Amino acid sequence: MTRFWWVRHGPTHQKGMVGWSDVPADLSDTAAIARLSDHLPEAPVISSDLVRCITTADALQSDRPRLPHDPDLRELNFGAWELRTAAEVEAEDGGAIRTFWDRPDLNAPPGGESWTDMTTRVGRAVDRLRANQPGDVIVVAHFGAILGQVQRALQCPVGEVLGHRIDNLSVTCLAHAGDRWHAEAINHIP
């Protein structure tokens, strides 16, 4: 069995849609980071290659082995909507953003990627980890990347999985055994 201990990076305090922008995480809540680290297994740590995940993974690493950062673990690419609020995009082109959020699996922001594109990319990274890193793995990643894997484990439509919360510094534990996925915990705050 392989267990993926998904950790969402520390908060960015950024307003708007933050996908591939390399914005820093606020890791000043050292008590929360210590609780999180104590909750996690002694297992290899991997992260997205964006700084908010790298620094969160650094804060959690301790004596845990570190795997190379993986760009396939990045958040959804919001393209032209990056760092803009939904209200700003709505004012400019309300139809486009409504179309995207109605069916994010089929639609993409201009110059960005669809939910399906993102989940396929993240799924490749997870499948590589499963093949090369049996046992427990701590993955520091993003809201969308984590939810995409929750969707994979629950085998539910995107509209249903988007109803789940994934808070900063939360843990979502997804396990794979044989050919089956299951969710052991979603959005657990230690």
The DSSP letter of residue 30 is: H
Percent of the chain with pLDDT over 90: 93
What number of other Cβ atoms are within 10 A of residue 43's Cβ? Answer: 17
Q: Which of 3, 85, 4, 82 is nearest to 50 (CA)?
A: 82
The DSSP letter of residue 137 is: E
For the chain, helix, strand, coil in percent to 5 are 40, 20, 40
Give Cα 101 to chain centroid, integer Å. 18
Give Cα 127 to chain centroid, integer Å. 15
Instruction: Output the pLDDT for position 95.
Output: 87
Instruction: Output the pLDDT for position 81.
Output: 95
**Total domains present in the chain:** 1
pLDDT tens digits for range 47-68: 999 999 999 999 999 999 999 9
Average pLDDT, rounded, for the chain: 96
Percent of the chain with pLDDT over 70: 100
Domain assignment of residue 153, given as a range: 2-188
In the 3-class helix/strand/coil scheme, how is 74-108 assigned residue by residue?
Answer: CCCCCHHHECCCHHHHHHHHHHHHHHHHHCCCCCC
- Global pTM reads 0.95
Instruction: Output the pLDDT for position 112.
Output: 97
The C-alpha torsion from 15 through 21 and 64 to 188, rounded to 10°, is 30
The DSSP letter of residue 15 is: -
Q: Which residues of 94-106 are buried (b: 16+ CB within 10 A; e: fewer)?
A: eebbeebeeebee
* Total residue length of the chain: 190
Instruction: Output the pLDDT for position 167.
Output: 98
Instruction: Output the pLDDT for position 11.
Output: 97
Side chain identity, residue 117: D
Q: Which residues of the chain have pLDDT under 70?
A: none
List the CATH number of the domain containing 163.
Answer: 3.40.50.1240
